[in-house]
Chain A
């Protein structure tokens, strides 16, 4: 008993540092390296207005005469453009910083939307069961039988045609978040439903029912907090997927407009110049995208290993 009272005196920070999760994190060099890389990318991206030497959204700072300068280590570079410039004369380093910020924001917001839809639907389907469950899960099956990209392309093409490209370009961020968010909710709904079905059988749920608690309270207060691990696991992977989806759509010209480039549209715009020798406009943002997605996926792998009880026990 005595050492338990000592444990209580430990600060919250020390408790977190001592937890199983932190322990396995410290013991896993891949996870640590991925985390460090991700944090560096994220900090740079979100501090873009501070770090970036130019503002790529400000037409006054762009000079077409500066277009297609190569990166600093290639012959013929200008010293003020470290990573060179793109076809419109924007500083590539600044544009990548702003673009990464946009990609991460779209990824996280889209996943938040997916999670909100998927978790609500999954909770209701799993807890209520019966016909409601059947109906919601068949909906999920139908949604899953269309590929995400196909749905997104059709939706975005139609909206673009409907609103005109100027209006579309202004609100492109929201359209992208909405379409990526809606297209992938069944992933969450299925996972959440499965955990709800498992948790629902446990006696603490029966106990809550015998105590007369209502279904909302049981779902939100008792089942949801105990279903967080799998939600956490798929969330990391889904963020990576959403970033890729955004990049693909932008690459196809259905995403962010060239005036507000994300990583995808940057790669796309550089693609036209790759044969004329200006490889850096495509390759450098491409590398950033690959590294970003890779570290998120590696982190996701680690989270899955730690939180998945089956692997944990095995």
Chain B
């Protein structure tokens, strides 16, 4: 990581926030509180001040449980959503809030792979139509032969048989469709790929195929990944760096190896211990009390305090900042900062 920090990051996220309003329109914001009518807006705070750098050639994994805002981060980076606050820079240029035309050159550089291979291909288009469309759109000057050459190249490189071209998505299994979806993203020759849970809808034996394919593409094309997942065992294998999110805030950012050898944040520890291991013959995990709170109108203090065994008064009052640890990782936890955890164990 240290040799990478010398270069400017490829993608830079600064203080990213995204709020979804639940009450739209004036009438919905009116609520009856204690006999009086008040105006209040409820909002889901999906992402709360996330800052992150991604360098060229990295595979940064964002992990967390449902509702932690990891997919929202992916969609913000891919330009499907605009942030409420904060900035996203790509190669030094600010890319959030760009119009569609201004975004167009970037679309060739940043591509996205989606979770559900059954929904990410247009069911009424043949594989060939699906793959040729982006090539034509971004290279208006291409002749028909150039387009089909590019498409066949990409199909071969991801293991999609060019003989499948005339068929429709419903004729393929989940794994094959995900290959086709990856091929589609690669047709515009991107350099940065946002992958939102690309393997969680697939079977174990197929997950390995798709992960290998993504690793191969990374090496042969020099891709950089922002990989969203809930599956920590995949992270260990795929990621160079890991970001752990909880309720829209960063808990811990660390090199993959460091994180798995020495997790520091109490949430990271619980998450790691909860992955069922083949060697266990009974559940063997750190129990967290309570359940994940809803991200509607978050209370102040540490977002994890309600489930944390180490929470104290300070955690109730003050949201912890991500602080650099001696081994290079960033951890946002008062207990780690004050070294309270080691005392108790």
Contacts and interface: CB of A to CB of B under 8 A. Distances in A.
A210 B171 contact: no
B188 A204 contact: no
Interface stretch (B61-69, B103-111, B262-270, B325-333): B103-111
Contacts of A203: 114-116, 119-120
Contact of B107 (A5, A212, A217, A222): A212
A294 B184 CA distance: 47
A204 B119 CA distance: 6
Given A203-B114, A206-B80, A211 B171 contact: no
A8 to B, nearest CB: 7
Contacts of B166: 8
Contacts of B104: 212
B117 to A, nearest CB: 9
A204 B121 contact: yes
B171 A4 contact: yes
B137 A213 contact: yes
A222 B188 CA distance: 19
Interface in A123-139: none
B107 A211 contact: yes
A208 B185 CA distance: 10
A225 interface: yes
A209 interface: yes
B313 interface: no
Interface string B169-213: 001000000000100110010000000000000000000000000
A225 B126 CA distance: 13
A212 B108 CA distance: 8
Interface in B74-100: 75, 78-80, 100
A59 interface: no
B124 interface: yes
B324 interface: no
Contacts of B79: 209-210
B123 interface: yes
Interface in A271-289: none
Which has the most chain A C-beta neighbours within 10 Å: B75, B103, B114, B185?
B114
B122 interface: yes
A207 B184 contact: yes
A202 interface: yes
A175 B111 CA distance: 52
Given A213-B137, A214-B100, A207 B120 contact: yes
Contact of B122 (A4, A204, A209, A210): A204
A28 interface: no
Contact of B124 (A209, A211, A226): A226
Given A4-B171, A8-B166, A210 B124 contact: no
A212 B112 contact: no
B124 A225 contact: yes
A206 B107 CA distance: 13
A206 B124 contact: no
Contacts of B116: 203
A284 to B, nearest CB: 45
Contacts of A225: 122, 124-125
Nearest to B124: A225
A204 B107 contact: no
Given A8-B166, A203-B120, A211 B188 contact: yes
Contacts of A8: 166-167
A208 B100 CA distance: 13
A202 B119 contact: yes
Interface in B122-175: 122-125, 133-134, 137-138, 163, 166-167, 171
A200 to B, nearest CB: 12
A276 B110 CA distance: 81
Contacts of A209: 79-80
Contact of B137 (A5, A207, A212, A226): A212
A5 B171 CA distance: 12
Given A8-B166, A212-B137, A212-B138, A207 B107 contact: no
B124 A207 contact: no
A212 B103 contact: yes
Contacts of A207: 112, 114, 120-121, 181, 184-185
Interface in A1-51: 4-5, 8
A203 B184 CA distance: 13
Contacts of B78: 210
B204 to A, nearest CB: 22
24 contacts: A4-B167, A4-B171, A203-B116, A203-B120, A204-B119, A204-B120, A204-B123, A206-B75, A206-B80, A206-B114, A207-B114, A208-B122, A209-B79, A209-B80, A210-B78, A210-B79, A210-B80, A210-B112, A211-B107, A212-B104, A213-B137, A214-B100, A221-B133, A225-B122
Task: Please provide the 6 A-B residue pairs with the shortest distance between their CB atoms, ordered closest to farther.
Answer: A212-B107, A203-B120, A203-B114, A225-B124, A203-B119, A210-B112
Interface of A: 4-5, 8, 202-204, 206-214, 217, 221-222, 225-226
Given A206-B114, A209-B80, A213-B133, 9 more contacts: A8-B167, A202-B120, A203-B114, A204-B122, A204-B123, A207-B121, A210-B107, A211-B137, A212-B138
